[in-house]
Amino acid sequence: MDIFTQQLINGLVLGSIYALVALGYTMVYGILELINFAHGEVTMIGAMVALTVIGVVMGAAPDLPGLMMVAAGLLVAIPACMALAFGIEKVAYRPLRRAPRLAPLITAIGVSIILQNLAMLVWGRQYISFPPILPHNQHEFLGAHITDLQIFIVLISLLTMAILVLLVEKTRLGRAMRATAQSKEVAELMGVNVDRVISATFVIGAAIAAVAGVMVSAYYGLAHYYMGFMLGLKAFSAAVLGGIGNIAGAMLGGLLLGVIEALGAGYIGDLTGGFLGSHYQDVFAFFVLILVLVFRPSGLLGERVAHRA
Amino acid sequence: MSIPRRFSSVHAWFQARPTFALVMLAISLMALPFLVGGGLGNSWVRVLDFVLLYMLMALGLNIVVGYAGLLDLGYIAFYAIGAYVYAWLASPHFGLHLPFWMVLPIGAAIAGVFGVLLGAPTLRLRGDYLAIVTLGFGEIIRIFMNNLNAPFNLTNGPQGINLIDPIGIGGFSFGKPFVLFGQTWPPTYLYYYLFLAFTLLFIVIAMRLQDSRVGRAWAAVREDEVAAAAMGINTRNVKLLAFAMGATFGGLAGGLFSAFQGFISPESFTLWESILVLCMIVLGGMGNIPGVILGAILLTVIPEALRYLGDMQRAAFGQVIVDPADLRMLLFGFALVAMMLFRPAGLLPSRVRKREFAARDGAREQEQSDLYDARA
Amino acid sequence: MFGLLGGCGERGGADESAVIRIGSVAPLTGPQAHLGKDNENGARLAIDEINAEGLVLGGKPVRLELIGEDDQAEPKTATIVAQKLVDMGVQAVIGHLNSGTTIPASKIYHDAGIPQISPSATAVAYTAQGYKTAWRVMTNDEQQGKVLGQYAVNGLGARKIAVIDDRTAYGQGLADQFEAAAKATGAEIIAREFTNDRATDFTAILTSIKGKGPDLVFFGGMDPQGGPMAKQMKRLGLNAVLLGGDGLQNANFIKLAGADAEGVVASSPGLPIDDMPGGAEFRKKFESRYGVIQVYAPYAYDAVQVLVAAMRRADSSDPAIVLEALARTDHEGVSGPIRFDAKGDTTGGAVTLYQVKDGAWRVLETVR
């Protein structure tokens, strides 16, 4: 087996998941300059809702193919997350749109605590396992192992990004989003319904988050009410690495962060003669992040953002 | 708006009698632990101690975030550094038992140096980019603390360092229960007065800083860095000074924490703690010392008060309907959101912020500032 | 869902009999809440059983009341909660769950002279502080790590071993002791890798380990990491045996690892529950009330039983007398026989090894 190829594949799959979650952060940030801390929790809710639905479907129609069950789960989880994000924006962020910049950050943290603890009440404190309903076909690829699910995850995240880019660049809604991102007031003067555009941004981000949540729990085989926190943090770092506010940047940042983590954990121990081992995986990742930002203060693909500190 | 007016009349009454107000304040602060301990139990004196420790941290972070406008999400790292330095120099871990009046300043100074080390490479970063880099810095420090038990056992890794020396003056140790008025009091009472002294000192320093030349330079950098530089302010030095000052406060608080707890492990220095301290100052009112103090009190006391949900339910319904452990953090989250929606500029906003906020309500100013932003 | 506080819900009988308060502390929110609630449930089951039987001390009937508190797995909160329990006048404390919270809290219980029995803290340092109030019904890292290290070499025939730990006090402590014992027994440690207790992706370290060709992988950590780890080992074609401690030896691990749990070996302190007097009954009762046992519920249950047995022997709930009686403990618990040494650690240190076969844990052997 080619270890390096395998590590690259490991990193790319992990990175695709980061990228999917990062898209939601970057869209919201691009328009509102708000770190939507609750986004990781929306991902978690997506996974939980889908798992519940899959459980019900399995009980009702156990002979259905696994992919159909997952599709059923997604079909409920996506609208659920969209509704949730719509509500969060309306209740917790919209009233603070003209407040000092850090105020919505605090409500975001508050919402994230609320969602975690609600999920704990509804789904319990234990880890929930994802039923083994998806086929685990393995392939050999350049001397490394890769499964159907892994290929699927990478493809889905590429596809999502492509659709999102098209949406932002080619549609009316996309144009309205870009206008709102530049200046809410001017966009409003031009007849853009800013409130609706911002809601739409949250809702689209949440739909992607739901997909990401289901894929994370399917891939790792579990879900837990606390799973959104670390995932959200990593995804946010990825979005910053790529240049926050930039969709392709989120994708690039996610993939890069995944590969950096995999290579860091895989090789750092051998390279430093055992002095720094895989426990410094995150240190390594943050170090690269800091280095990138020191030389490119707006991330890899970020444009120079006007500062409004 | 009858309530604020009533408050302001009380305020005016005290303002006319400053000495009296000061004496009253001093007496109530001195008596507080005994009132709290007698009325609510000794655990609340411990909560009080932690309120003061968080106040120290919040005052320190307020210099960085509130005064200089640098968003720092890794502040707990300095607290950790202070705590570990204290543990290294005053515990059986290395067999060193230096007195606290040597260890605390060393810890604070080392934390201050780390503040500059963090500040230097991040000078060009702004806003949320700075936030993520400081967050990374905080995590890096924690991960090192968690792992440096090999190849050389510096921190004892996740097992933590135990049996750290309590603060002691002469032969008298703060760590042991003491006898006063024929009664035995737990060590938390003595630590209260020690922490209170440091808090008052910090408040004085923070107030003096705010109105000093440096304080005005920080405000200038916070409001508009380019304009500040054009006015001849050395923005690099001013920002580094803010990082160093904030870190020094944090390091000192960490050393006190270490002595108070007697045991430290990396679990005490998580990202969540950084977020919590930031929440305190934003919620209380950034840049305003009374606000910061109020924020630290509220966010330390609310989660502890919510422990009594079980008793409250029993009093109201005769039985416990919902397990308090299920509700406690949930209500804490709701409280955060509600307070922020209720007072978007913080509970006690600084005068400057209040003005800014009022100005932002006017669409004209908003538009102008946005136009400016678009050009920048 | 909404956990009813059965124990302190009804106050009807409180007037006739004196109430003895017993604290239970564990993280009930945050990432380890499932373990914390499990501990509390184990303790609660024992308390309810004892109350149903009726407890008489010093000629008077007494009723036990469990005060469950949340320490959020955080050392600072742990000390506040400990002081709160002392203020409330608890006569003993079952807890805390983590070593990092148990140790700072132990000073407060020691100052107050209240017995503390931890069902799950494994750090050697906990009972090494010289506190007469600190006890545990769980083997410490040294005891279990040694058995595991020797068994890996002698029982499973491993020669080249890779060690992973989750950088918690529990995982790191156990893995270090395992490594030392395995080396001393003649195995070669070919890789030492690390993860954390929030991680779900281990492919990078497993790939790196695979390149070194081990015949056994030891993991010091808990089932939420162990489950996905077993899966990812299979997926990467890493066909070494996965070995773990009590953090893996539970039903949840099998659920999380699915079919890939087959062949995994893990240990658990004490004897198999179902072989113990009252063990099968305990499992039935617990699972009908609270659902599947996470990890440490039997130990929390035993901790209460050991405590109450000591109260019975002392014929008092006075902590000072109970502490003396605790030292003379000789109890057949559902997790195994429990006796204490002078430090408050369990003696004997029987450890049972299990392997997953056909989707369930089967006893391999008990090492004494």
Please give the pLDDT value at position B371. Answer: 39
The proportion of chain C whose per-residue pLDDT surpasses 90, expressed as a percent, equals 76
pLDDT per position as a tens digit, A238-258: 998 998 888 999 999 999 999
Please give the pLDDT value at position A141. Answer: 82
- Identify the helix (H) or strand (E) that includes residue C61: strand C60-70
Contact B330 A96 (CB under 8 A): no
Which residues 311-370 on chain B approach chain A with CB closer than 8 angstroms? Answer: 326, 329-330, 332-337, 340-341, 344-346, 353, 356-357, 360-361, 363, 366-367, 369-370
- Residues in chain A with CB shorter than 8 Å from the CB of B225 are 307
pLDDT per position as a tens digit, A123-178: 998 899 999 888 878 888 888 889 999 999 999 999 999 999 999 999 999 999 99
Q: Report how many Cβ contacts below 8 Å link chain B to chain C.
A: 112
- Residues in chain A with CB shorter than 8 Å from the CB of C198 are 226, 229-230
B128 touches chain A (CB under 8 A): yes
Q: Kindly tell me if the per-residue pLDDT of B372 is higher than 70.
A: no
Contact B319 C10 (CB under 8 A): yes
CA distance between the termini of chain A: 50
**Token duo for residue A257:** 């962060």
Query: Which chain A residue has its CA at the smallest distance from C290's CA?
Result: A124
CA B19, B24, B30 angle in degrees (round to 5)?
125
Q: A305: distance to nearest CA of chain C, Å? A: 33
Q: List Cβ neighbours of A286 (8 Å cut-off, separation of 6 or more).
A: A237, B136, B137, B139, B140
Q: Kindly tell me if the per-residue pLDDT of C8 is higher than 50.
A: no
C167 touches chain A (CB under 8 A): yes
Query: DSSP string spanning C121-179?
Result: ---GGGGGG--TTEEESS--HHHHHHHHHHIIIIIT--SEEEEEE-SSHHHHHHHHHHH
- B22 within a domain of the structure (yes/no): yes
A309 touches chain B (CB under 8 A): yes
| Confidence tier at B376 by pLDDT (50, 70, 90) | very low
Same domain assignment for residues B16 and B122: no
| Confidence tier at C62 by pLDDT (50, 70, 90) | very high
Please give the pLDDT value at position B370. Answer: 42
- B334 within a domain of the structure (yes/no): no
**Token duo for residue A25:** 């952060």
Contact C11 B149 (CB under 8 A): no
Contact A220 C200 (CB under 8 A): yes
Which residues 272-301 on chain A approach chain B with CB closer than 8 angstroms? Answer: 274-275, 277, 279-280, 282-283, 286-287, 289-290, 293-294, 297-299
Rounded mean pLDDT of A266-279?
80
- Please check whether residue C300 is in contact with residue C24, taking contact to mean a CB–CB distance below 8 angstroms: yes
| Confidence tier at A303 by pLDDT (50, 70, 90) | low
Query: Which chain A residue has its CA at the smallest distance from B144's CA?
Result: A280
- Please check whether residue B126 is in contact with residue A309, taking contact to mean a CB–CB distance below 8 angstroms: yes
**Domains in chain B, number:** 2
Rounded mean pLDDT of A23-29?
92
Distance CA B191, CA B44 (A): 13
Distance CA A94, CA A108 (A): 12
Q: What is the phi/psi pair of residue A35, to 5°?
A: -80, 105
Distance CA C4, CA B198 (A): 44
Q: Kindly tell me if the per-residue pLDDT of C1 is higher than 50.
A: no
Q: Kindly tell me if the per-residue pLDDT of C359 is higher than 50.
A: yes
| Confidence tier at B7 by pLDDT (50, 70, 90) | low
- Residues in chain C with CB shorter than 8 Å from the CB of A270 are 208
**Mean pLDDT (chain C, rounded):** 90
Contact A282 B334 (CB under 8 A): no
Q: Kindly tell me if the per-residue pLDDT of B179 is higher than 80.
A: no
pLDDT per position as a tens digit, B294-306: 999 999 999 999 8
Please give the pLDDT value at position B368. Answer: 41
Q: What is the phi/psi pair of residue C54, to 5°?
A: 95, 125
pLDDT per position as a tens digit, C214-238: 999 999 999 999 999 999 999 898 9
* Closest by Cβ to A222, choosing from C167, C210, C256: C256
Least confident of A223-232, B229-238, B318-327: B318-327
Q: Kindly tell me if the per-residue pLDDT of C154 is higher than 90.
A: yes
pTM for this entry = 0.89
List the domain range (segments joined by +) for residue B239.
41-284
- Measured CA to CA in angstroms, residue C212 lies from A4, A275, C189, C216, C286 at distances of 13, 18, 11, 11, 44
Q: Kindly tell me if the per-residue pLDDT of A189 is higher than 80.
A: yes
Distance CA C347, CA B160 (A): 25
Same domain assignment for residues B13 and B60: no
Please give the pLDDT value at position A286. Answer: 86
A95 touches chain B (CB under 8 A): yes
Distance CA C241, CA A87 (A): 48
Q: Kindly tell me if the per-residue pLDDT of B369 is higher than 50.
A: no
Q: B92: distance to nearest CA of chain C, Å? A: 12
Please give the pLDDT value at position A309. Answer: 32
| Pairing of the two strands C60-70 and C92-94 | unpaired
**Between residues B101 and A272, which one has the greater pLDDT?**
B101
Rounded mean pLDDT of B23-32?
89
Please give the pLDDT value at position A1. Answer: 55
Angle between helices C75-88 and B235-261 (to 10 degrees): 40
Contact A3 C211 (CB under 8 A): yes
Same domain assignment for residues B109 and B176: yes
Please give the pLDDT value at position C16. Answer: 55
Chain centre distance of CA A238: 9
| Confidence tier at A200 by pLDDT (50, 70, 90) | very high
Least confident of A94-108, B294-308, C293-307: A94-108
**Mean pLDDT (chain A, rounded):** 90
B43 touches chain A (CB under 8 A): no
Query: Which chain B residue has its CA at the smallest distance from A117's CA?
Result: B330
- Please check whether residue C129 is in contact with residue C111, taking contact to mean a CB–CB distance below 8 angstroms: no
Same domain assignment for residues B74 and B198: yes
Least confident of A118-122, B6-10, C84-88: B6-10
* Closest by Cβ to C79, choosing from B160, B261, B323: B261
pLDDT per position as a tens digit, C114-141: 999 999 998 888 999 999 999 999 888 8
Contact C200 A270 (CB under 8 A): no
**Between residues B57 and B183, which one has the greater pLDDT?**
B57
| Confidence tier at B365 by pLDDT (50, 70, 90) | very low
Where does C142-269+351-367 sit in CATH, by number? 3.40.50.2300
Structure ipTM: 0.89
Rounded mean pLDDT of B325-339?
89
Chains within contact range of chain C (3+ C-beta pairs < 8 Å): A, B
Task: Give the CA dihedral C113, C337, C118, C274, nearest 10 degrees.
Answer: -150
Contact B159 C28 (CB under 8 A): no
Query: Which chain A residue has its CA at the smallest distance from B369's CA?
Result: A308
Rounded mean pLDDT of C175-199?
93
The proportion of chain A whose per-residue pLDDT surpasses 90, expressed as a percent, equals 63
Domain locations along chain A: 17-135+143-232
The radius of gyration of chain C's CA atoms, rounded to the nearest angstrom, is 20
| Confidence tier at B6 by pLDDT (50, 70, 90) | low
- Identify the helix (H) or strand (E) that includes residue B276: helix B271-284
- Please check whether residue B247 is in contact with residue B147, taking contact to mean a CB–CB distance below 8 angstroms: no
- Residues in chain C with CB shorter than 8 Å from the CB of A282 are 196
Least confident of B8-12, B37-41, B314-318: B8-12
Rounded mean pLDDT of B79-85?
97
* Closest by Cβ to C103, choosing from B186, B263, B329: B263
Distance CA C196, CA B176 (A): 36
Please give the pLDDT value at position C349. Answer: 67
pLDDT per position as a tens digit, B120-140: 888 888 777 888 889 899 999
The proportion of chain A whose per-residue pLDDT surpasses 70, expressed as a percent, equals 97
Distance CA B47, CA B42 (A): 9
- Residues in chain C with CB shorter than 8 Å from the CB of A136 are 235
**Token duo for residue C148:** 């595991």
Distance CA B169, CA B174 (A): 8
Please give the pLDDT value at position C187. Answer: 94
Please give the pLDDT value at position C308. Answer: 95
Chain centre distance of CA C146: 17
* Closest by Cβ to A145, choosing from C235, C256, C259: C235
Rounded mean pLDDT of A4-30?
93
Q: C34: distance to nearest CA of chain A, Å? A: 4
**Between residues B81 and A266, which one has the greater pLDDT?**
B81
C6-139+274-334 CATH choice from 3.40.50.880, 3.50.50.60, 2.70.98.10, 3.40.50.2300: 3.40.50.2300
Q: What is the phi/psi pair of residue C30, to 5°?
A: 85, -175
Distance CA C290, CA C42 (A): 9
* Closest by Cβ to A221, choosing from C29, C210, C258: C258
Please give the pLDDT value at position A135. Answer: 81
C203 touches chain A (CB under 8 A): yes
Query: DSSP string spanning A43-109?
Result: HHHHHHHHHHHHHHHHHH-TTS-HHHHHHHHHHHHHHHHHHHHHHHIIIIIGGGTTS-TTHHHHHHH
